[in-house]
Amino acid sequence: MPKFKIANGTAYDCPFCGLASVGILYVDILGVTLLDALTAFSDSANTRHMEYIAGGETTVYEGYTKIIGVEYAYNDSSAVRVALRRPYEGETS
């Protein structure tokens, strides 16, 4: 199972991670509640540096410190989808 790791060292099972053409990073993680995901990914210290590890390759995501939201990824509560973006030019944290 691919893993998604945030800066504090927490690693999640992650069946999907993708970057939309508009710059939104979508991450589906397993084994967490909506509140758990919101708490972890709302902390910009956790999202400044993240890694997606799949198929022996690691993709690094830097600076996705703005959370757009969390929701259930599928028609059940098996996965939580987190949506993140980088700050806009001139935007403060």
The pLDDT tens digits of the residues spanning 65-84 come to: 999 999 999 888 889 999 99
pTM of the model: 0.92
90 CA to centre of own chain: 23
Summarised one tens digit per residue, pLDDT across range 10-42 is 999 999 999 999 999 999 999 999 999 999 999
Place of tokens 């708490």: 39
Report yes or no: 73 and 12 within 8 Å, Cβ to Cβ. Answer: no
Sorted by sequence, the CB contacts under 8 Å of residue 59 that are 6+ apart come out as 17, 51, 52
